[in-house]
A = this chain, B = another copy of it.
Amino acid sequence: MNPTIELLKSHRSIRKFKDQPLPEGALEEFIRAGQSAATSNQVQAYSIIRVTKPENREQLAELAGGQPWIKACSEFLVFCADMKRATEAAERAGADVVRGMTEQLLVASIDTALMAQNVVTAAESQDLGICYIGGLRNNPEQVSELLKLPDHVFPVFGLCIGYPDHNPEVKPRLPVETILKQDYYDDSQDEAQVAAFDDTMHQYYLARTGGKKDSTWSQELKPLFTSKLRPHMKEFLEKRGFGVK
């Protein structure tokens, strides 16, 4: 183990931030580190909107389902999958471009996520805290309008960055042996391992809430798959030119 691996393993989401700006030039440095991540065929299928206007931060906090840390953090970034720039560049070079392919949706989403995770590691290496905001996908249409996103660009998630003003525990994860499989997908041990992880999470919730939260991993997952989470996503993406064919 080395300090970088220690850093990665110490991640937890931060939702309370000090009222303290980032050092001059730090954000650009983090984004440059983000861009250094691998990108499918050098496509770099992403853009980042840095949201500085307080009224827009406020609206995004609402649109994400009431997440006030979007207002309070020092920097709020919206990471967008962007197939506009690269396809237009190819078009100007003479390509007869095909858009709307599901593969392009994957490329752009993956490119964006790899890049963002490097931004996160860079920020955390400078003692900053972060929180991903998947909740922007609650209302992707309104988020897109607010940020004036054109077709072939969509908001994948937001990211709060700032100096932590609390110190939450690192959350447990599934055992390595549950997610790492040798040569073939074999989930014959999954049920038992998940049951053990349910116990781990049960203890974690009890300890963290002084006995109030009496739940498990499996229990907490229930509403995620029963309420048809974000049922608008297919139509929204297709309207924006993603995953049409």
Partner of A118, one of B8, B38, B39, B170: B8
A245 contacts partner chain B, Cβ-Cβ < 8 Å: yes
Copies in the assembly, this chain: 2
Given contacts A85-B190, A153-B185, contact A113 B104 (CB under 8 A): no
A185 & B147 in contact (Cβ 8 Å cutoff): yes
Q: How far is the CA of A178 from the CA of B102 in the complex (A)?
A: 25
Within 8 A of B (CB), among A51-100: 51-53, 56, 80, 82, 84-90, 92-99
A109 to B: closest C-beta gap in Å? 5
B121 & A176 in contact (Cβ 8 Å cutoff): no
Q: How far is the CA of A38 from the CA of B178 in the complex (A)?
A: 18
A214 contacts partner chain B, Cβ-Cβ < 8 Å: no
Q: How far is the CA of A156 from the CA of B9 in the complex (A)?
A: 23
B44 & A185 in contact (Cβ 8 Å cutoff): no
In the complex, which residues of chain B have a beta carbon less than 8 angstroms from the beta carbon of A167?
Answer: none
A22 contacts partner chain B, Cβ-Cβ < 8 Å: no
A192 to B: closest C-beta gap in Å? 12
B50 & A180 in contact (Cβ 8 Å cutoff): yes
A156 & B110 in contact (Cβ 8 Å cutoff): yes
A19-55 near B? 1/0 per residue, CB < 8 Å: 0000000001111111111111111101111111100
Closest residue on chain B to residue A181 by CB atoms: B49
Partner of A93, one of B9, B218, B237: B218
A120 contacts partner chain B, Cβ-Cβ < 8 Å: yes
B44 & A173 in contact (Cβ 8 Å cutoff): yes
In the complex, the 5 A-B pairs of residues with the closest C-beta atoms, listed nearest first: A113-B113, A4-B125, A103-B230, A93-B218, A117-B117
15 new A-B contacts, CB < 8 A, other than A90-B224, A110-B156, are: A28-B176, A39-B173, A44-B174, A46-B179, A86-B224, A93-B221, A95-B221, A101-B231, A103-B231, A106-B233, A107-B134, A109-B113, A114-B117, A147-B184, A147-B185
Complex A-B: 23 CB contacts under 8 Å:
A11-B36, A28-B180, A32-B173, A36-B173, A37-B120, A40-B132, A41-B221, A44-B173, A50-B181, A86-B224, A89-B194, A90-B218, A95-B221, A99-B225, A101-B234, A102-B243, A103-B233, A104-B225, A107-B134, A109-B110, A110-B113, A150-B187, A243-B243
